Each structure stands twice: as C-alpha cells, then as structure tokens.
Amino acid sequence: MEQALTHPRLISLAAGFTDNPSLPVTETRAVLAELLEDEPGAQTALQYGKSGGDPRLVRLTAERLQAQDAAALPRKHSLPVNNYDPGRFLITHGSQQLLYLLMEALCDPGDIVLVEDPTYFVFLGMVQSRGLRCRGVRTTPEGIDVEHLAVVLERLRREGELPRVKLLYLVSYAQNPSGITTSLTNKSAALRLLKRDELAAGHPIYLLEDAAYRDLRFAGAEVASALTLPGASKRVIYTSTYSKPYATGIRVGYGVLPSQLAPVVHRLKGNHDFGTSNLLQCLLAHALDSGRFASHLTALRRRYAEKAAVMGEALKQHAAGLLEWREPQGGLYYWARLLGPGRTGPKSRIFQAALKRDVLYVPGLLCYADDPTRPKPDTEFRLSFGGASEEGICEGIARLARAIRSS
C-alpha cells in the first residue's frame, strides 16, 4: 500500500484498495448533509456513543444479516433468529480490529489457530506477531477441505496439541486470496469436527467466519452463514465489514459473538478505544436506512464484475500457458498459479522482474501460515483488480506475463 501511495508509475495489483472512481462520493455527500441538517441527529453523531456500537446501526446490521441468511436458506429451513439478537453484535473500527480483539480474548502465546491454505495474509501477520502458531488446512473449490481438517485435528490430537487449538478461521465468501466461497455443507461439517474434539481440547473451539467479501460477490448462488447451523449460537463468531462494500475510508466493521464471549470482547473494545467513531456509525446507519448503501452496492458489484472480466480477458490474452486461474465469484482478487517452473516469492526472479517492470503483486507465499508440517507453496500470485484502472489491469497483466517469460 505504502508503495502504491508514493510511487505513481507503479501498477499495483497487490494492494487491497477498492476502486477509486466508484467510491460513494455523491451518496456520502447526501447522507452527511441530511445527517448534519437535523440538529439532534448531528449532536448524536458528533458525541461519544455506546462503546459496543450505535444502537441504530446495530439494529440495521442485525436485520440485514438475518435477511441475507433467510434469503440464502431453502424455504423449509427455519432460521435460528436468536442468533441475530442485537445484544450479540459489536461494532468495531474496521473488521480487522474485531479480529484483533478476538485473538486477544481467545488466545495466549503458543496457542494454535487453524487457517485455510491459503488465507488472508494480514490476519496471518497479526496472529503470528502475537506469538500464536498456525496450522494450515487445504481448500477445495467448495472451501475448506473437511477431510484434511480431520487429518490436521487427528495429528494435533496425537501430538497432544489439541488443548492449544482455539479456533478455525474461515474467510468464507469470495475468499481473500483464492476467491472461493465455502459451501454451507463444508461449514457445517467443519463445525461438527471442531465440536467433536472439544472434549479432548478441554475448551470450546470456535469457528470464526470472516465474511468480509460477502457483499462483494457478483456471481454464484447465495450461501447462508454458519450462524444458521445447529450449535452456532455458542460456537460461531461471525465478522464482516462496511468498509469494503461502502468505502474503505470509513472504517466500520462488526461481529456477532456467542453470548459467553460478548462481555470479554466488549470490555477489550472499551479498553482499546471505548467505541468506534459515532460519526462513521451514524453515516453508515443513515446510508443503510436511506437505501443509498444498497444502491451503491448494486453499482459496486457490477463494477467489480466488469473489472474481474477485464482481468480475466487480460490473463487469457497474455498469460495463457503461463498461469492457471479460476474466475472469482466476487471480491477483489484472482488467484493464479505458475504452470511452468519458477517461484513467485518476494526474493524470486519473477517478483524482481515484475518490480523492474513497475508491476506489483502479492506473492502467494505470504498467504500461507508458518506451519511446520508442510512447506509453503511458492508458485502463486494474488492479483487484485480492485484499485487499478481497466487500463492498469491490462497493462499490469501484460507486464507480469513479460516478467514471467523473462525469468
């Protein structure tokens, strides 16, 4: 990000920036004007609020999430509506803050977090800097590989490490980096496996579902969250964000917490900053209530679908035979793998050749946890179509292909 902000000739296919031209400038102007026009509303927005979150934003968030899950479930399934109780919600300064609070609340140094191979590298950096250990679980086109999860848990049981396992972290919708959406079947099977091993662990093992890209899906059928599963109320932690689907400059995330966890995470939030900026929360509540959030999101999804198609075309044109990839159903990324020999890590010839050609990507290597039980794959790329323009995407992929060919 730093590089992209200070080095304008660079084409960054690396940073998780969202698309600049589609930022909701008009919407935000209107929302803020309306919000601040009304004196009591303006005073609320400019004053301290409750540390757990603005009640109106909490209610709107809970209602929206419940509606999303209801729409994604087959008719015959009944929704566990208590799981969407506003009392279970916490609003944070971006969902990253919630992830941090959760790691603080749940994990001691040396504890083990199960993650997907590959997974969100900022999360990895954070957990590993806190002295936590990770074990990677393979993924399939349907999300987490449940059979491999069983193997990993069995190995941890044999090693006597189950008591250190605290949670499984799933980026479940249009995953960062792979673009994969985890099926409800797989989430359900994973939750059952975790539950099965709790007795041996001696404590709850949580399923932490990070749905940051749920709103940015532009293809594929709706998938209900793990909150709809049996036993979810006590074992599923759900986090998501308004930053990516609305505006990344407005850092507001949220989580749904099991009731036994809510007090400790709320207390930590109070210690961190006693509450997310009320102005940001009121802005989002008003954007949701006025329908501007929804209309912006519709436009944004269309925009990302177009940019994904542009990158897909560029890959076909420039990188056929060099790379393999899958069309993402949402999010901001293509995940691509070298077909021939070579590596893609920060010290690799390909990375250096790309840098020399002023194109930046996230090496796949960074998206794998330090897991002593397997080597890290070093032949993949995370390619973002979020921040770059259409021209930038095409030129960036062309440069990358030249860099690969030259290495």
For 148, phi then psi, to 5°, come to -70, -35
Q: Note whether 251 binds a copy of itself by CB under 8 A.
A: yes
Interface map 216-235 toward a copy of itself (x if CB under 8 A): --------------------
The residue range among 206-214, 220-228, 242-250, 311-319 that interacts with a copy of itself, by the rule CB under 8 A, is 242-250
According to the binding rule CB under 8 A, does residue 255 interact with a copy of itself?
Answer: no
* Least distance between a copy of itself and beta carbon 124 (Å): 11
Could you tell me where the DSSP H helices lie in 197-336? 198-201, 232-235, 262-273, 278-289, 292-319
Residue 307 interacting with a copy of itself (CB under 8 A): no
* Cis amide leading into 177 (omega within 30): yes
Residue 58: other Cβ atoms inside 10 A: 21
Among positions 24, 136, 177, 255, the unique one binding a copy of itself when judged by CB under 8 A? 24
Determine if 17 is a binding residue for a copy of itself (CB under 8 A): yes
C-alpha span between 343 and 117 (Å, rounded) = 17
Q: Select from 9, 75, 129, 221 the one that contacts a copy of itself (CB under 8 A).
A: 129
Pick from 97, 139, 240, 384: which binds a copy of itself (CB under 8 A)? 97
Number of residues that bind a copy of itself (CB under 8 A): 57
Q: Give ∠ CA 232-234-238 in degrees, rounded to 5.
A: 60
How many whole angstroms separate alpha carbon 324 and alpha carbon 350? Answer: 16
Q: How far is the CB of 76 from a copy of itself (least distance, A)?
A: 40
Q: In the Cβ-directed half-sphere of 398, how many Cα atoms lie within 13 Å?
A: 7
| 24/5 Cα distance (integer angstroms) | 20
Q: Can you tell me which of 7, 29, 77, 302 binds a copy of itself, judged by CB under 8 A? A: 29
Contact residue for a copy of itself among 3, 25, 263, 327 (CB under 8 A): 25
Handedness of CA 307, 245, 92, 214 (dihedral sign): negative
11, 49, 58, 175: which one binds a copy of itself (CB under 8 A): 49
Binding mask 318-357 for a copy of itself (x = CB under 8 A): ----------------------------------------
Asked if 96 interacts with a copy of itself (CB under 8 A), we say yes
Structure token digits, residue 13? 């296919």
3-state SS assignment for residue 267: helix
Q: How far apart are CA 114 and CA 99, in angstroms?
A: 14
Instruction: Give min distance, CB of 166 to a copy of itself, in A.
Output: 18
Q: At what angle do helices 39-46 and 278-289 cross, to 10 degrees?
A: 130
In whole angstroms, what is the distance from residue 191 CA to residue 189 CA?
Answer: 5
Contacting residue, 274, 291, 294, 352, with a copy of itself by CB under 8 A: 274
Pairing mode, strands 143-144 and 165-171? unpaired
Binding residues vs a copy of itself (CB under 8 A): 1-2, 5, 15-18, 20-21, 23-25, 28-29, 32-33, 36-37, 39, 42-51, 92-94, 96-97, 100, 122, 125-126, 129-130, 247-251, 267, 271-280, 282
